[in-house]
Chain A
Amino acid sequence: MAHKDFRGFLAAIESSGDLVTINDEVDWDQELSGIGRLSCERNGPAFLFTNIKDYGSRIRVAANPIATWRRVAVALNLPADTPLRRLYQVYAEREDKAIPPILVNDGACKDVIIPGDKVDLFDLPVPMVHEGDGGRYLGTWDLVVSKDATSDWVNWGMYRFMVHNERLLTGYPRPTSHLGKMLLEGYVPQGRPMPIAIVIGADLPSHIAAAATFRMSGNEADLAGGLGERPVELIKCETSDLYVPASAEMVIEAEIYPDRVAQEGPYGEYPGYRSGEMGNAICARVTAITHRRDPILTLDTTGFMDSSATTTSISGAIAIKRRLERHDVPVVEVYVPPEGGVHLAVVSVRRGGAEVAQKVVEVLTARRALMSKIIIVDDDVDVFNMAAVIHAFATKCHPDRGTHITRYEGRANALTPAYSLEERIARSGATVAFDATWPPQWPAETTPIRATLDSMYSPDVQRRVLQRWKTLGL
């Protein structure tokens, strides 16, 4: 079973050598997040900052919980050196074994209760994550709970929230996100404020479930239970009927205005850029804060190779595979490389060709279009081996016939750096599939043969070479 709370996870990654604690004073204004940013770029450890300028030691900040595969493995209670393919397999197996949450009356997240009229968000050491951001971001590695206005559907998502003033937050859950859909289709037409709870420092499976690419109307609390192999304990909020993980470090209860906006962004986001997507956001007024004694805030130093990159790599790939299977695409494996900033997917298929490539790109852009590039390879290419993928892409993808483009309006990813400012505002974009498979109509006798050990040598020679390799100690 996974660790029951965030502190248990921190102890585990400290034991595995994947956490560094900094007790010297660090500035919340860029310095703290700069350390975290460099760590992401160097595949380095997570950090726990215990002494923060202007704030002292009362509230600590933990940066980049699972920005490496080692820490993802620990979060799933696996050995830190678990191979990536195995991580994918475990995630998929546990996703199929949902465990519903249980409701409790007491929880550590209620150690301290601050009513709305006493809230001052500037009492929290909220980091200024990047120089030039629109403000200080409280929600970077969070879990935002919301409930549909007309059904029992409860959504957990990971959405960014910025401090505007003492009680007002602005945020950017995309309008096409599950929260955005609930807000625009449910609460805004009724003119009702939408209650939300921004949960910080819950158990890791809960955050992974919130960040995951998951089906509409799916219950992420059940998914979190499955991923952690234990039910998540939930407790009711103080000012709404929402339920939150009881062991969380902090819960910020708020209401999204159905008829108000304030400035949000810009913000250096997970694709690895600050793309100027500001100006189309929501705002929420805090109604209460509850927290553990000596709470720990969490930070994902958003950008290239952040914590969301690993999470969406696994969950996004599995969601893509399931969707393609539902549409009868002969998919074998899918990999979303975290270096691609959730813009690139690699799909291997039993049988390729133009028709399959066109179908892949159409299926994957039907509702939301987050991936802008998809490389399709034959199933003799290991999708987790990017050297092999690049080789296939560079050599087998026809520069003309191998490119399949689908364009769309109103549902493109406004964070995609390649889009012009006008395209980002209009959410107008495109996805391209690169067909790096052999056309099925090509006869075997004229199809090129790959000049690799596993393709161009007899099984007997392969066996002898591998044996020799082993005896040489290589």
Chain B
Amino acid sequence: MATEYETFVRDRSRILSGREVVLTLRDLSPGRKKYRGVNVRAVVSRPPRSGEPVLWIRSVVGLKDSKPCSVRIIEELPEAFAAEPYSDFFDVMEKAERR
């Protein structure tokens, strides 16, 4: 498992609610596979909890939050979500959360 990830969000409050959420994480481990994407069900904490990988949140324009979070990955999900092309991806992730 990586020690540092980032994720892009439209609604921070959803991510930081303390409940399980569905996210796409980007692995920030140095090397050839840096920025590899993985879909997960996870819980995000701010301030970060020790022992958990660091998570950086970015906005929809890529602006990085100054304060880090941590992420506890509960399960890895399939590489893509069931939805028609051009569906709103953030809505699709929220729907996946409710399943």
Contact = CB atoms under 8 A, between A and B. Distances in A.
Task: Determine the main DSSP class of A at the interface with B.
Answer: loop
Given A132-B62, A132-B63, A132-B64, A261 B89 contact: yes
A434 to B, nearest CB: 29
Contact of B85 (A166, A188, A279, A425): A188
A261 B62 contact: no
B75 interface: no
Contacts of B81: 260-262
Contacts of B39: 262
A457 B40 CA distance: 74
Contacts, number: 111
Nearest to B8: A134
B12 interface: no
Contact of B37 (A165, A183, A276, A421): A165
Interface string A267-279: 0100000111011
Interface residues of B, number: 33
A258 B85 CA distance: 6
B88 A425 contact: yes
A66 interface: no
A76 to B, nearest CB: 35
Interface residues of A, number: 46
Given A180-B86, A188-B85, A261-B85, A266 B62 contact: yes
> For chain B, what secondary structure do more than half of its interface residues adopt (helix, strand, loop), or is it mixed?
loop
A263 B63 contact: no
Interface string A220-239: 00000000000000000000
User: What 9 pairs across the A-B complex have the smallest Cβ distances?
Assistant: A132-B62, A276-B60, A260-B80, A279-B89, A263-B24, A276-B61, A282-B85, A164-B37, A262-B80
11 contacts: A122-B32, A132-B63, A168-B37, A258-B85, A259-B84, A262-B79, A263-B8, A266-B61, A268-B62, A274-B62, A279-B60
Interface of B: 8, 10, 24, 26, 31-39, 58-64, 79-90, 92
